[in-house]
Amino acid sequence: MKCLFVTVGTTSFDDLIACVSAPDSLQKIESLGYSRLILQIGRGTVVPEPFSTESFTLDVYRYKDSLKEDIQKADLVISHAGAGSCLETLEKGKPLLVVINEKLMNNHQLELAKQLHKEGHLFYCTCSTLPGLLQSMDLSTLKCYPPGQPEKFSAFLDKVVGLQK
Amino acid sequence: MVCVLLAAAAGAVAVFLILRIWVVLHSRDVTPRESLSILVVAGSGGHTTEILRLLGSLSNAYSPRHYVIADTDEMSANKINSFELDRADRDPGNMYTKYYIHRIPRSREVQQSWPSTVFTTLHSMRLSLPLIHQLKPDLVLCNGPGTCVPICLSALLLGILGIKKVIIVYVESICRVETLSLSGKILFHLSDYFIVQWPALKEKYPKSVYLGRIV
């Protein structure tokens, strides 16, 4: 049973939610082999009606304390460009597709998504190109994301503050 | 005559202040120590997640840990509490590690206009200065939420007034690949160590510290 998780973080991204929950998209998602779609919609005003048929389930919620579980059980995560969501997904080794909110001008979050895309860790698109990309992208081409090294930070800090071992 | 004297006095004060700021920012004598108190400025959402990752790598010598959050930010408070609980669970021997959460008003709500930002920053400063003065942390660690500017200014002021030299460490968010955040642009000049996480920023700001990706 393949699961697709869509997350907009603490903000709202109505265009994305409307796009993935449109009948066409649902059909496409199902045809790609997903039998479950989970939407985390934040404070959005587009609130699709959850449903469950024999072959497909749609779940919708606003927030959870931790998205860890939903990311963990997903086979693909579609996310807004927020750093938190992107990094959490990549660290769990999940394929990630970032959808850029064109309505947010000067959105500095794009810098990170673009860079991670350049390095081959994720796909990215806008709402209008999402359906096409869902169809055409090959998840096996994504490179795995090496974890950050906070221990380098602690070693640096220990040294500059004069901490005795 | 009075005018000239006043101007001279003002000039002298200005020169003294500038010298003092220079001295405070350039004093890097490393005092050996076994522990130090740390004040962490946690922002909203992603900022908090990032800074908790950095904190996760620090030993228990960084204690007590004081967290400053925006007064409306319950989500960060929850994240901090669960981070600290986790930490205590992993290290049951260390019963005495203490942490405290302090709340101050946000210096800028998202989409607030710039002129009103100045006022809210001053307002935050009025609240953060007494807090910093009371806590007198050895180290301030922050990564870019608006709240960190008044906090760092207050910490710097303790140094300028000769009350305490607080080490200010700024870690620019992983989101910043090519440009600094507004807080970053301000605190680049006011921090003791300014850490960036992408090579493009290190090139643009040679004085920054680049350790690779640390979150």
Q: What is residue B43's predicted lDDT score, i.e. its pLDDT?
A: 77
Average pLDDT in the A132-140 region? 94
Cα distance between residue A141 and residue A45, in whole Å? 35
Q: What residue numbers bound the domain in which A103 lies?
A: 2-161
- Closest CA–CA distance from residue B62 to any residue of chain A (Å): 9
**B190 vs B150: CA distance, rounded Å:** 11
Confidence of residue B194 (pLDDT cuts 50, 70, 90): very high
The pLDDT tens digits of the residues spanning B1-45 come to: 788 999 999 999 889 888 888 888 888 778 889 999 999 998 766
User: Using the beta-carbon criterion (under 8 Å), do A154 and B211 form an inter-chain contact?
Assistant: no
Range A107-117 average pLDDT: 84
pLDDT of A20 over the 90 cut: yes
Peptide bond into B206 cis (omega under 30): no
Q: Does domain B34-210 have CATH number 3.40.50.2000?
A: yes
Query: Distance between CA B45 and CA A109 in Å, rounded?
Result: 13
CATH for A66: 3.40.50.2000
pLDDT of B107 above 60: no
Task: Flag whether pLDDT at B102 surpasses 90.
Answer: yes
- Dist CA B201 CA B209 (whole Å): 10
CA A119: distance to chain centroid?
A: 17
Distances, alpha carbon B97 to alpha carbons A1, B29, B87, in Å: 45, 27, 10
Facing residues of A6 across strands?
A: A39, A78
Helix (H) or strand (E) holding B81: helix B74-90
Distance between B63 CA and the closest CA of chain A, angstroms:
12
Reported ipTM: the value is 0.89
Tokens of B129: 């200065």
Given a contact cutoff of 8 angstroms between Cβ atoms, the answer to whether A45 and A65 are in contact is no
Percent of chain A with pLDDT over 70: 98
Q: pLDDT, tens digit, for every residue of A54-70? A: 999 999 999 997 899 99
* Residue of chain B with shortest Cα separation from A107: B175
Look at B211 and A10 and tell me if their CB atoms are within 8 Å: no
Of A65, A111, A150, the CB nearest to B215: A150
| pLDDT tens digit sequence for A39-57 | 999 999 999 999 999 999 9
pLDDT value at position B166? 95
What confidence tens digit (pLDDT) does each residue in B43-100 have? Answer: 766 788 889 999 999 999 999 999 999 888 888 899 999 999 999 888 776 666 789 9
Number of domains composing chain A:
1
Q: Which of these ranges, A49-63, A74-88, B43-57, B201-215, has the smallest mean pLDDT? A: B43-57
